Chain A
Amino acid sequence: MITRLEDKELKRKSRRELLKLAPIVALGAFAFPKVSDRLIEEGVRFSDWAAGEMFRSQHLAQTFSNSDVVPFTKFPYNFYDVVDPGVDLAKWTLTVEGDVQHPGEYTLAQIQALPKKVQNTRHICVEGWDVIGSFGGTVISDFFNLIGANTKARFLEVTCVDDYYESIDMASALHPQSLFCYEMYGQPLDRGHGAPLRLQMPTKLGYKQAKYLDTIRITNVLTPGKTGYWEDQGYSWFGGL
């Protein structure tokens, strides 16, 4: 729609319309590293909150037939420090702490005495690759019943033999596919994949699946600055799928 107007009027209108864009200049704050570091941290925090809201506690991750599972040799070993931290498998126990009725040391046999769940699920790495594997273990919520965990508490914190550490929101920990995994491909977990016990949750990214578990703790308050090895360096804490 063409209109005809005085040059002065056009300039005045243009200037007024231009000024209306001023709020966008606020996005310029992202150009300053000191400010943007804070802002993108807040952005991830907001995303984590949204991810928590999106999470459906009973919605199952896709499971696959045995023919879709990659051969065991093509399932990558991923580790942050050493692939084998030298766990003494004979003496290993899982330490249970925090908001539980029966804290203490639990042997692998006690964990394996609970019903075993085997599932072929997709393991997704934050880097972008994924691999469909076969995992067997104890459903975390079953073990929580055994130890009398307060499932109203907010977090599951874990520490590992290799000093890796993680924390998981309770809803994800209680998901029916979330496992304390001690088997892969029908064989006892090998050292490189986290023997004797690791987390295996198809609703979480790979870095949340802590290996070589040492201690678990039920808590309402996360240890400050120790929410997760990678999370403390900037990865999303929720890390959900």
Chain B
Amino acid sequence: MADEPSGDGRREEIESAEINKEDITKEETGAGSEPASSSPAEPEVCEAVVAKLEMVADESVPNEPGLAETSAETTTKAEGPELVRAAYEHPLAIRITHWVNAISLFVMITSGLRIFRAFPSFGPKIPEKILLDIPKSLTLGGWLGGALQWHFTFMWFFAASGIFYVLFQIFSGHYRTMLFTPRDISGVWPMARHYFLFGPKPPARGQYNPLQKLAYTSTVAFGALSLLTGMVMYKPTQFSWLAFLFGGYHLTRIWHFAAMCGFLAFIPGHLIMVALHGWANFFSMLSGWKREPEYQE
């Protein structure tokens, strides 16, 4: 068999092509009962059949029927689309909460600064010591009342997306990708050295490096802190137990401000990193899918 040139394989394929020709003819003429040979074939059908026969002839050029399978496989590989490495990094719940949070955080910080402007101090009213003169252009709401309206509207979005995010992370187990644990401590310095001091890049292990985990875990802590202290400032009497935990009403207001400072420390670094890592990385927070991730697992 192996020594035979061309051979049965080719003949069989031509035969099957002829059967196809009959089928096509039947379909085209609509005369199923009549034998194919007796019905005058349409010119186009003839052409089609000829083309098909030529194709069959071409394909059967490799003369070794035993190698036919292997060669066919090689052909598929060469002609088929290339596979792309990709990872589904961000489940829908994470993406939704990320963007709702991004929008609400923007509103909460800008309106919060406007609210702070009404009494930019942590001390007594008399004598009032102005600690910060925040430019109006950085604030939202136009005046204290308007800023409070934004704050009191978006606090619900902020709280709802935050609570939903944390519950999702816990119950889906997805938190393992981002939660900073004691194991990550040793990896923080090499990563920081790489980012800020042009040190060597430590090998990427998971979706996030230890510094990222620290940053993302911190934002969850800032979120929890701003939510809880916000509750105290909104209803200090109803949440008096919580006010007590934060060391009283005055300290709560400072904690609330500190939580915002935490976010303000995170956001520029986060945005710079997003810009540096390019479109595929940014797009993954929109589509969930990251093309060609850096890590190997």
Contact = CB atoms under 8 A, between A and B. Distances in A.
Interface string B131-152: 0000000000000111011101
Contacts of A42: 153
Contact of B153 (A39, A128, A129, A202): A39
Given A18-B287, A241-B237, A7 B153 contact: no
Contact of B84 (A4, A56, A59, A124): A4
A88 interface: no
Contacts of B126: 73-76
Given A126-B148, A128-B116, A51 B235 contact: yes
B118 interface: yes
Nearest to B143: A234
Give the bracket for the number of chain A residues in contact with chain B: 35 or more
Contacts of B81: 6-8
Nearest to B142: A234
A128 B119 contact: yes
Nearest to B243: A62
A190 interface: no
B291 A10 contact: yes
Given A6-B84, A18-B286, A21-B99, A122 B249 contact: yes
Interface string A42-70: 11101100010011100111100000001
A241 B144 contact: no
B237 A14 contact: no
A214 B57 CA distance: 107
B115 interface: yes
Mostly, the A contact residues are mixed
B289 interface: yes
A43 B103 contact: no
Most buried by B among A17, A124, A130, A236: A17
Give the bracket for the number of chain B residues in contact with chain A: 35 or more
B115 A74 contact: no
Given A24-B100, A128-B115, A40 B150 contact: yes
A15 B296 CA distance: 24
B153 A4 contact: no
Contact of A128 (B83, B86, B99, B118): B118
A75 B125 CA distance: 8
Nearest to A124: B236
Nearest to B239: A54
Contacts of A62: 237, 240
B154 to A, nearest CB: 7
Given A2-B293, A17-B288, A241-B235, A10 B84 contact: yes
